């Protein structure tokens, strides 16, 4: 499996000054899969700091990876995997060349089959909230290999359980963390999610 747990915390907008405190708030509630999106301030520095502080206790990904250059930067910063919002063969190939696992963003059946043909490690259905929660069950039958499905986009504590009935994991962003939010708020939201 690409992810260690069933919740991936998306810390979009987190800064290097705050990233360690935010991740500690998550780890204290056993949320150990963390994504630092590439459109966050100095995102590669945040990845380096988190890896230095938490080492293997956190399964860390670079998210919103949309170019081969970002994929290479993600690997060089020390991330364990990359997440994309879309399916781009060049990005997938760069991740492979850099030794990164990849969770590729897909939406349609055509994209899902293309991603599987490229050998991605997981499928990120995005934006998941616009599809029925049972979408993986509807598409898995024709797939020739098992691949984990991760729901991202519009997931919160109100619909998370419904998605987890059909998905292997969920990515939670603004329902868990917003830029500038105190780590104490993240801690409260993490506790609410894992209940």
Is 124 one of the annotated active-site residues of the chain? yes
- Within 10 A of 146 (CB to CB), how many other CB atoms are there? 9
Element containing residue 60 per DSSP (H, E): strand 59-63
Choose, from 51, 101, 124, 140, the residue flagged as catalytic: 124
- Within 10 A of 41 (CB to CB), how many other CB atoms are there? 13
Choose, from 24, 35, 89, 140, the residue flagged as catalytic: 35
Is 35 one of the annotated active-site residues of the chain? yes
Distance CA 100, CA 118 (A): 14
- What angle do the packed helices 183-194 and 19-27 form, to 10 degrees? 30
If you write DSSP's letter for every residue of 97-144 in order, what string do you get?
A: HTT-EEEEEE-SHHHHHHHHHHT-SEEEETTGGGS-TTHHHHHHTT-S
Contact 175, 155 (CB under 8 A): yes
* Active-site residue set: 35, 124
């Amino acid at each position: 499996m690409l992810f260690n747990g069933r919740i991936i915390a998306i810390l979009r907008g987190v800064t290097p000054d705050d990233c360690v405190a935010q991740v500690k708030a998550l780890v204290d509630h056993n949320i150990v899969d963390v994504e630092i999106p590439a459109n966050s301030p100095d995102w590669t520095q945040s990845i380096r700091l988190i890896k230095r502080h938490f080492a293997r206790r956190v399964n860390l990904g670079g998210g919103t990876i949309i170019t081969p250059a970002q994929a290479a930067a993600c690997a060089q910063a020390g991330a364990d995997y990359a997440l994309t919002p879309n399916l781009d063969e060049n990005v997938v190939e760069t991740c492979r060349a850099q030794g990164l696992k990849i969770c590729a963003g897909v939406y349609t059946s055509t994209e899902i089959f293309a991603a599987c043909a490229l050998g991605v490690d997981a499928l990120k259905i995005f934006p998941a909230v616009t599809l029925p929660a049972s979408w993986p069950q509807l598409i898995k039958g024709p797939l020739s290999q098992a691949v984990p499905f991760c729901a991202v986009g519009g997931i919160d504590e109100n619909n998370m359980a419904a998605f987890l009935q059909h998905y292997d994991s969920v990515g939670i962003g603004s329902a868990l963390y917003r830029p500038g939010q105190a780590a104490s708020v993240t801690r409260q939201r993490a506790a609410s999610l894992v209940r």
